[in-house]
Amino acid sequence: MSRPELQAPPEIYYGDIEAKKYTKNTRNQQIQADMTYRALELLNLPPDEPAFLLDIGCGSGLSGEILTEEGFIWAGVDIAPSMLEVALEREVEGDLFLQDIGQGFGFRPGSFDGAISISVLQWLLNAETSHPTSSPPHRLSRFFTTLHSALRNPSRAVFQFYPSSDDQIQLITACALKAGFGGGIVVDYPNSNKAKKVFLCLFVGGGGQQQMPKGLESEVEDDARARFERRRERVRGKDKNGKRKHVKDRDWILQKKELYRKRGKEGVPNDSKFTGRRRRPAF
């Protein structure tokens, strides 16, 4: 099957039907969550400090939900109106902007403490018209230049993307470095065709003191046969205490309901002894 970015521009490909289909797909949800957690690790923000992050290509807010759960304030930009409509329906916590990132950003300089982007950069590598301003190098240059301005000094931006060739990686990296960023490519599980993931980790400022992180490696058995790739120490879907991240416990539900009441939302159920209680499985 042809890759999505080769079929149509994102604002057309992700219409009403595809936007809802993508968001409800449990496999997409898990992949998005895994990549978002990994991007946050590479972002390497100071612990227990508030941060305002930019989610580039936020879509329907799957990554934004992770940012909220991790305690970050965030804003998201996306070019697909249908995706942003789904995000509004899901009542995500971030501020949402309809924006073609290939035309650059208009944010105040130093607005954000960091930026993440999941599965987006490859969409900038396809020109829709023959006009010079629509060429991938021009769009990438405009994107990285304005993003560099929007980030505070020092900070980081982390992009997970799906390049189709080494030439694409070189083009993206060259445009980023020309815009003033430091950093480079981080590859997780490079020896696994299935698990391999490519990240662009960029630095703003820091006086050359920011160190490039290392990609995750695969485990190999003594007989040199590749095993399943070694996962991060944090169990997938769980926090460092072993608690499942995506389970909405009673405290989370009560906090959410109180937030809705403060916003004046109608129809918020009353609290009771059954709030947050796990249901028995249906047979």
* DSSP per residue, 115-154: EEEES-GGGGG--SSSSGGGSHHHHHHHHHHHHHHHEEEE
3-state secondary structure of 222: coil
264: pLDDT confidence band, cut at 50, 70 and 90? confident
CA distance 27 to 25: 5
Checking if the pLDDT of 226 tops 70, the result is no
Per-residue pLDDT, 224: 39
Per-residue pLDDT, 188: 97
Checking if the pLDDT of 274 tops 70, the result is yes
Stronger pLDDT, 222 or 281, i.e. the higher one: 281
CB 172 within 8 A of CB 122: no
Residue type, 189: Y
Q: Mean pLDDT over residues 210-233, rounded?
A: 59
Query: What are residue 199's DSSP bridge partners?
Result: 160, 186
Q: 201, 203, 229: which is closest to 216 by C-alpha?
A: 229
Q: What is the pLDDT of residues 81-120, one digit of tens each?
A: 999 999 999 999 999 999 999 999 999 999 999 999 999 9
236: pLDDT confidence band, cut at 50, 70 and 90? very low
CA distance 191 to 177: 27
Domain limits of the chain? 4-247, 250-283
**CATH number belonging to domain 4-247:** 3.40.50.150
Stronger pLDDT, 260 or 194, i.e. the higher one: 194
pTM over 0.95: no
Residue type, 52: F
Residue type, 71: G
CB 213 within 8 A of CB 201: yes
Q: What is the pLDDT of residues 50-64, one digit of tens each?
A: 999 999 999 999 999
Of 49-58, 69-78, 126-135, 172-181, least confident by mean pLDDT is 126-135
Per-residue pLDDT, 208: 66
Task: Report residue 163 as tokens.
Answer: 């390049």
CA distance 1 to 13: 14
Q: How far is CA 21 from CA 29, 69, 168, in A?
A: 11, 23, 29
Q: How many CB atoms lie within 10 A of CB 163?
A: 17
Per-residue pLDDT, 247: 53
Mean pLDDT of the chain, nearest integer: 86
Q: What is the dihedral of CA 26, 30, 32, 38, to 10 degrees?
A: 180
Question: Buried (b) or exposed (e) across 52-76, using 16+ Cβ within 10 A?
Answer: ebbbbbbbbbbbbbbbeebebebbb
Checking if the pLDDT of 244 tops 60, the result is no
Task: Report residue 214 as tokens.
Answer: 């290392």
CA distance 124 to 67: 24
Q: What is the pLDDT of residues 189-208, one digit of tens each?
A: 999 988 999 999 999 997 66
Task: Report residue 30 as tokens.
Answer: 């898990």
Q: What is the pLDDT of residues 154-185, one digit of tens each?
A: 999 999 999 999 999 999 999 999 999 999 99
Per-residue pLDDT, 132: 67
Classify residue 120 by burial, with Cβ atoms within 10 Å: 0-12, 13-18, 19+.
buried
CA distance 184 to 213: 10
Per-residue pLDDT, 206: 79
